[in-house]
Structure 1
């Protein structure tokens, strides 16, 4: 180490260092607008709450500077943060660069010293999360159903209190004998063996094995199994039986395994399960050749391609009018790979395809577009029938049996072949993703479980029985050589434990963060260059929520993090400002101008002194060495934990400071989204303005104009009843931006919508009649409806400019006044929604919710401020975080 470290006598004197390699600055291709993809772990639909979240507008974009990647010479082994994830990430939207002034202030927080509720086990990877070994209650079918949450919590507290009574106190509840409990346990486990209809292909573990396992768990925990309750009908005061819950509701309850209430939810950290049974993965159907009249052209002549070559040509043809087909790298990689396929499967007519520009994929594209149009034109009954058929094929693969209980599988579908699209300026975009076959896949099942058969011809590459991992299947994709895994779904017990441990680890950091900050602040002046660089990197990771960063290969996109920053990525602006400009994870541009401590500014000047732009800024710090140093403060602490901690603590403080106590629900939602935006800006969760944003905002403006039109008609109805209302200030003024032309335009739009609505209803009624074998409606029915609509809008036209109106349904003045007041409230709420959506158009709020914000913060906030959580969390997130929903309103991160 002495050879790498020089001593300093003064802080201002530049530290000596090893000379970095020099070279010409390279460039990374850009689209000219700095538009880069947005990171996400779920699809956009999954991010959307039941009440649609909104978007925010950021400052103007700044063009991305040319950035060259430089291979780091020091050891930069990958940490758990930036390593490739198990499965393919979701498709990202492109993102524009956003200035993020104020991000530094948003993250300078103090801790309250409150200890976390539970110390988490050191685990960073999803596949390292143990399965709970605790007991679980079952219903009559052994499906893990439990009574409603609040009632059950109260009941369990009461039982806990009874069990802890002294010997002198008689228990209120009679506890069954050990023999009876054992019998009930065996009966429950036996019931667990009768699978539901949707799970017939899966054979459950034997009742004896399950009973034996349950007995071992009971003995190890020292806690008797909860008594199984008999199903009883609840009667009201008059003795009538309460209505039964719907079947769907019961099924939902049965799927919830309340692992977080067990005695040992974290397990022993090694063995993750005892029995695992599943049906493997679902392979996509084989390729179906195109009709004989659909062929690509070469030099204007149709080419007779064999199926293997035609399939690859179709991948490109489907993207013909997308931005991908305009990308030179994408086109080159596609054509290179396609030529390899053509060598193995040449055209049947002997055509030699040698130049890309002479290829014409238009006929294939037009055929695909026509097929899309046909699917879109399908009736609802046809779409439903197609979905039922698809679901039936996939049903055996959607669930597995883990330790005797049914769990949902996540990405059970094998990705079909296609063209790799990548993110940002990935050098391999356009490369051919080969079809994955059973011979490529290793599956993991329990010992002694029958090996499942693939749904396509072939045999598995290997069959493993490793209960120390949680993946069900794995293979290696051919483009980047990444390992793909099939895990359980987000709402499973294993994933839930992983999420809970992650956030508990971040909460635990509160107890150490002051000491860590004190130490790295002192090391900013260290005479050891390595320590000084490490302290500066920790400052950036803590205050700016930067990722640690890892070394990239030559065939990967040039993205960097804190430890892999190059001198060109940080610009000094006297007296104490730094400008960061680089491509982060998923090729998302990070641009931030921040004011830093004087010593940090001085250290960056020293680190850059005498180096070329493409030299490493921190040439004596690696991700592995940094994480090793952090682990000396707290078990399992990595740079990634800092990012989760800063995101959650910032979010909690923003909510506490910005939520109006007596505001409306929409005002509180706006405050919530504002806090989320602060975190999204801090974590650089950008996105490009959605293509449909202006269209969406136009629809909202049209809807607002409709509210104003409705209010105008109500006012004019009051004037027709009594002229005195014209003198009241509340009703006298006309609605803003709603003149005669606006009224005419709105009424024309209303008329067109009414006619369209009538036509759709007429078509739907005829479809229903055909299904029931009845005669279709006469065309005169639709004609009469159209005539009725025409007459109504002629009447409205006559009312224009008269300041008087007659409502369809006669109402007294008092009711009209009430209607106007309600409409005013509705308009106020809607305007807030519009402002919120416009504000968030360039910031992705979903990524923070899914990955960085402790969901218990949201659950507690909703309870405290009486906001329905369905307005914030989508159904997917509610399923993902069931353990977070039961915190009380006083809970704080």
Structure 2
């Protein structure tokens, strides 16, 4: 499968730096073997391919090359929480509830003057040994790292065996069919031959396999086992709650499922996308409303008057004055440059009192406080609107947007996704984007091209404007397009995620990853062999494919350094983007897609580590390409030689889906497991996919606070349970001897000071609820044109909270709790205690699940990488409502998966 590029294939841009030798000499190989092999233990070799750390990594005296940062601006590190929050441990408490305690100051990052790889004082984020996993509660003394390595190898071995089995079955099927055709050829023409069987899935089996016509996108299940007769559907379809939507047009009759595209598969015709297309164009943001005359921008202590266009730009900055973006020097620098350009184009600024022109040069002399206060007050007023006002505004907004929300695509009513043109503002970007703070200009109709069918009414542009162009391209799936000014990227208006065209795109993506099942063993065997190739180009390509398969790296494309962020992928990695640490650890540190920093540490196989030392060999230095004899085009050409359409992205989807399929298949669920426990087990599998496939993230800044709130809720339930037990003693003191003193003892974590604070919280919570209920009642009365309730009614209602406060005070003094409710009995109280224990168990599962997900974006995996049909099959198999696993938006997006699996009880990835 070699597809080696010669030196002539290397782009000129890559030959300016130090270029690797075209071949690897035996002497070089032996020298590298001696430097690597002796230092690697059996444990190191066994754990190759695992992610050790995800996040900022300490400097290490064993670093082999000590690279500098990415060559971009220096960035502050994000520190992760190193230990799970113990939401029950209050030994160091000062008596306050966790949620009410002052937040501990975060550890400051190291000096920004130090390279990222050399910082020493920050805490390391969690390693794979600290990550919550499926079987981390077992009593096995085997380290979790070894378990993960074994599990990963086991899954890969299964995949390799399955690939060979699929190809063997297809080969047998082809031979059997060929034999049958050959025997037909021996029949004399004068004798009638039986009619050729239709390959409709019910034809006569040839060793259980239907003839495969070509390597198209037909699902593997159809290629391998379509000859088997389909059994009648067993069991029920996934439980889907019928949700009434208020969106216009949703009451129309839906297409018959018999004609749904997922029953036949998407149309493979990549030319014509539609026959008729009709829509109403795009919705532009409202025009700018000037600031009140008393709200001014200040410069050097004085008020200034601005042209409305310049005032709007100043308002963009003023509205976000207190955000973290305004603390970034790059953001402020870019804003000031664009602001000065707008000032120049609109006649500049004038002194509000004298009318003289002012040259605004220095950013530090600008004062946006008045503008910020104005927009903050406006925001608070919006939040303070009554529910009836919000409903009225929403109804008006929906009515105004209704014409743009849907289009007619081949006669079907399809929902449009992003029909709103993005309003102007300041570009924020993700990560450390170099253009953050620049002005996103208002998009005008004259910049927009409309795509629509011939012979239908063209959508009218806003009054006084015209479209850039109107075209009728039935090979495009977009409805409108324009270019934004920040990165000069083309923006498109597309159909929504739950549309037919998007569903077909998802279907093809996941079927392509299923197709990879047939070839994964050959690909892995080839790149492992070529890791030792004599040709440098082959060795570099094999190492890159190893990275893509094991660490889910993107392939990477060439960038225009002047106009785009300095983001890289696998093929465009530079010398300084990896650090090597003996015996087999590689530290990646670079800006990936959307300028998100990829900063992770991995164990690799000895030969890969040896190759990386070779690729970084002197005279290479910062700025030189790591894979200087490999381009993205060459890599994709090589991958497509195994399978049509195979790219780096297919590996991410395949690895995630295949791993999830294996984990769900091997999952053991207790017979008496609740739905919540089953959902947690599913999430555990999802989380393990993230670890094994290296789809991880840094711990969110709000995680500790969220866990603290959950801890308070758990303690609150424990307090309520304890009060119920005290009520039992109040009714029947003999129960203490019957059940034992320990049963009625106050839990250790419920200290007296915490109880008093919690009682105050409960009283205030009741006051808040009563007040909100009173306000809501008055809003309803106002809507019904009735007189509002008087304030004395509110005071009367608030007496309930006063009574609760008095009750708590009496309990604290007497150390007794009187039984509450109508006709309280010991039996009733025991039933209430049982309910509280169920609530505590459910909340503990939720807390455990959330803490386990602190490094994992489960939603991203569900949306992009894991075949949704796996979730649907799991839902059917274990009787978990699909609503518990997919949100409403995901159920709409993956309706094709839900419907297509209804008739396939035995569907497998």
Superposed displacement of residue 257, structure 1: 7.6
Task: Quote the residue 2:137 is aligned against.
Answer: none
Q: Is 1:559 aligned with 2:551?
A: no
Question: What is the alpha-carbon distance in structure 1 between the residues aligned to residue 422 and residue 836 of structure 2?
Answer: 49
Alignment partners' CA distance in 1, 2:817 and 2:323: 53
The equivalent of 1:835 in structure 2 is: 848
Q: Is the 8 A contact 1:61 1:97 kept in 2?
A: no
Q: 1:635 aligns with which of 632, 639, 644?
A: 644
Is the deviation greater in 834-843 or in 268-277?
A: 834-843
Q: Count matched residues.
A: 717
Over 3 Å counting, the alpha-carbon distance change for 1:394 and 1:636 in structure 2 is same
The reply to whether residue 405 of structure 1 matches residue 412 of structure 2 is yes
Is the 8 Å Cα contact of residues 69 and 577 (structure 2) preserved in structure 1?
no
- What is the distance in 2 between the residues matched to 1:387 and 1:255? 26
Are 1:12 and 2:6 an aligned pair?
A: no
Does the CA contact (< 8 Å) of 1:14 and 1:606 recur in 2?
no
Alpha-carbon distance, 1:493 to partner: 0.3
- Could you tell me which runs of 5 or more consecutive residues in structure 2 were left unpaired when the two chains were aligned: 9-21, 33-66, 81-106, 118-122, 130-144, 171-197, 204-241
User: Which of 805, 809, 812 lines up with 2:822 in the alignment?
Assistant: 809
Task: Say which SS state the counterpart of residue 885 (structure 1) adopts.
Answer: helix
- Paired residues of 1:325 and 1:331 also in contact (CA < 8 A): yes
> Contact conserved, 2:551 with 2:694, CA < 8 A, in 1?
no
The Cα shift of 1:435 comes to 0.6
User: Quick one: structure 1 residues 891 and 163, their matched pair in 2 at CA, closer, same or farther if it must change by over 3 Å?
Assistant: closer
- How far did residue 274 of structure 1 move? 0.5
Q: Tell me by how many angstroms 1:283 deviates.
A: 0.5
Q: 2:749 aligns with which of 711, 725, 737?
A: 737
2:768 corresponding residue in structure 1: 756
Q: Does 1:767 align with 2:799?
A: no
How far the C-alpha of 1:107 sits from its partner, in A, is 4.8
Deviates more, 1:567-576 or 1:322-331: 567-576
- Pairing partner for 2:712 from 683, 690, 702: 702
Quote how far apart the aligned CAs of 1:745 are.
2.0
- The Cα of 1:489 is off from its aligned counterpart by 0.1
Taking the aligned partners of 1:99 and 1:732, their CA distance within structure 2 comes to 41
1:72-118 superposed Cα distances (whole Å, 9 cap, x missing partner): xxxxxxxxxxxxxxxxxxxxxxx9976557687665423234769xx
Q: Is the 8 A contact 2:388 2:779 kept in 1?
A: no
Counterpart-to-counterpart distance in 2, 1:741 and 1:615:
62
Q: Give 1:314 deviation, angstroms.
A: 0.8
Give the Cα separation in 2 of the matches to 1:808 and 1:745: 24
The residue that corresponds to 2:402 in the other structure is: 395
Counterparts of 1:601 and 1:488, CA distance in 2:
46
Change (3 A) 1:658 1:337: same
CA-based RMSD = 3.3
CA distance in 2: counterparts of 1:2 and 1:327, whole angstroms: 45
Aligned residue number for residue 205 of structure 1: none
Deviates more, 1:285-294 or 1:544-553: 544-553
How big is the shift at 1:775?
2.1
Moved more, 412-421 or 655-664: 655-664
Aligned counterpart, 2:683: 673
Change in CA separation of 1:253 and 1:543 when aligned onto 2, cut-off 3 Å: farther
1:848 counterpart (861, 886, 890): 861
Structure 1 CA distance for aligned equivalents of residues 764 and 24 of structure 2: 80
Alignment partner, residue 634 of structure 2:
625
Offset of residue 443 of structure 1: 0.9
- Corresponding residue number in structure 2 for 1:873: 886
Instruction: Report the equivalent of 1:156.
Output: none
- Structure 2 match to 1:335: 336
Q: Which residue pairs with 1:512 in the alignment?
A: 519
Contact 1:537 1:562 in 2 (8 A): yes
CA distance in 2 between counterparts of 1:245 and 1:413 reads 25
Structure 1 partner of 2:392:
385
How far the C-alpha of 1:621 sits from its partner, in A, is: 0.9
The Cα shift of 1:260 comes to: 3.1
Q: 2:552–2:695: 8 Å Cα contact kept in structure 1?
A: no
1:316 aligns with 2:317: yes
- What is the CA-CA distance between 1:6 and the residue it aligns to? 3.0
The corresponding residue for 2:610 is 602
Contact 2:531–2:611 (CA under 8 A) maintained in structure 1: yes
Counterpart in the other structure of 2:805: 793
Q: State the Cα distance separating 1:889 from its structure 2 match.
A: 5.6
Q: Cα deviation per residue 1:26-76 (whole Å; 9 max; x = unaligned)?
A: 74224422479xxxxxxxxxxxxxxxxxxxxxxx999798489xxxxxxxx
- Alignment-derived partner of residue 664 in structure 2: 655
Shift of the alpha carbon at 1:584?
2.1
The match for 1:416 is 423
Q: Does residue 529 of structure 1 match 2:528?
A: no
Matched, 1:251 2:250: yes
Say yes or no: does 1:892 pair with 2:908. yes
- Relative distance call for 1:881 and 1:631 in structure 2 (3 A) is same
Distance 1:599 1:11 in 2: 13
- Return the offset for 1:679: 3.2
- SS class of match (1:286): coil
User: 1:732-755 CA deviation, whole Å, 9 max, x = no partner?
Assistant: 333341233333222211111111
Instruction: For residue 250 of structure 2, give the secondary structure of its aligned residue in structure 1.
Output: helix
Deviations 1:165-209 (A, max 9, x none): 9xxxxxxxxxxxxxxxxxxxxxxxxxxxxxxxxxxxxxxxxxxxx
Distance change >3 Å, CA 281–CA 14, structure 1 → 2: farther
Say if 1:25 and 1:449 are closer, same or farther in 2 by CA, change over 3 A: same
| Aligned-pair CA distance for 1:444 | 0.5
Aligned twin of 1:498: 505
What displacement does 1:657 show? 4.1
Q: Which deviates more, 612-621 or 841-850?
A: 841-850
Deviation per CA, 1:564-609: give whole Å up to 9, x if none.
1122222333333323333322233333333322222221121111
Q: CA deviation at 1:659?
A: 5.0
**Cα displacement string for residues 122-164 of structure 1 (whole angstroms, at most 9, x for unaligned residues):** xxxxxxxxxxxxxxxxxxxxxxxxxxxxxxxxxxxxxx9x999
Shift of 1:875: 0.9
What secondary structure is seen at the aligned counterpart in 2 of 1:553? coil
Distance 1:831 1:67, change over 3 A: closer
CA deviation after TM superposition for structure 1 residue 484, in Å: 0.6
Q: Report how far residue 687 of structure 1 moved.
A: 4.7
User: What's the secondary structure of 2:734's corresponding residue?
Assistant: helix
For residues 655 and 701 of structure 1, the distance between their equivalents in structure 2, rounded to whole angstroms, comes to: 30
Q: Provide the rounded CA distance (Å) in 2 between the counterparts of 1:429 and 1:788.
A: 53
* Cα contact 1:309–1:342 (8 A) shared by 2: yes
Cα distance, 1:508 vs structure 2: 0.8
SS of equivalent residue, structure 2 residue 678: helix
C-alpha distance in 1 between matches for 2:475 and 2:869: 29
TM alignment of 1:859-870, pairs within 5 A: 859-870=872-883
* Structure 1 match to 2:896: 883
Q: How many Å separate the matches in 2 of 1:14 and 1:624?
A: 32
Q: Which moved more, 1:344-353 or 1:478-487?
A: 344-353
CA deviation profile, 1:410-444 (whole Å, cap 9, x unmatched): 01000011111112222211111111011101110
Q: Secondary structure at the match of 1:303?
A: strand
| The one of 483, 486, 504 aligned to 1:476 | 483
* Structure 1 match to 2:72: 28
| Corresponding position: 1:746 with 2:768 | no
Q: Partners in 1 of 2:862 and 2:448 — Cα distance?
A: 33
Instruction: Indicate how the Cα distance of structure 1 residues 253 and 115 shifts in structure 2: closer, same or farther if over 3 A, else same.
Output: farther
Match of 1:225 in 2: none
Q: Give 1:684 shift.
A: 5.4
Shift of 1:246: 7.0
Deviation per residue, 1:672-701 (Å, 9 max, x gap): 222222333456555554454344333322
C-alpha separation in 2, matches of 1:164 and 1:495: 30
Give the superposition deviation at 1:783.
1.8
Residues 2 and 676 (structure 1), Cα distance of their counterparts in 2 relative to 1, 3 Å cut: closer
Task: Evaluate the alpha carbon distance shift between residue 577 and residue 842 of structure 1 in structure 2; reply closer, same or farther with a 3 A threshold.
Answer: closer
- After TM superposition, the structure 1 = structure 2 runs for residues 225-244 of structure 1, keeping only pairs within 5 Å, are none
Once the two structures are superposed, the pairs formed by residues 267-286 of structure 1 within 5 Å of their partners are 267-286=268-287
What is the TM-score with the length of structure 1 in the denominator?
0.75
Of the three residues 569, 575, 591, the one matched with 2:599 is 591
2:796 counterpart SS class? helix
Q: Write the distance in 2 (CA, Å) between the matches of 1:685 and 1:164.
A: 41
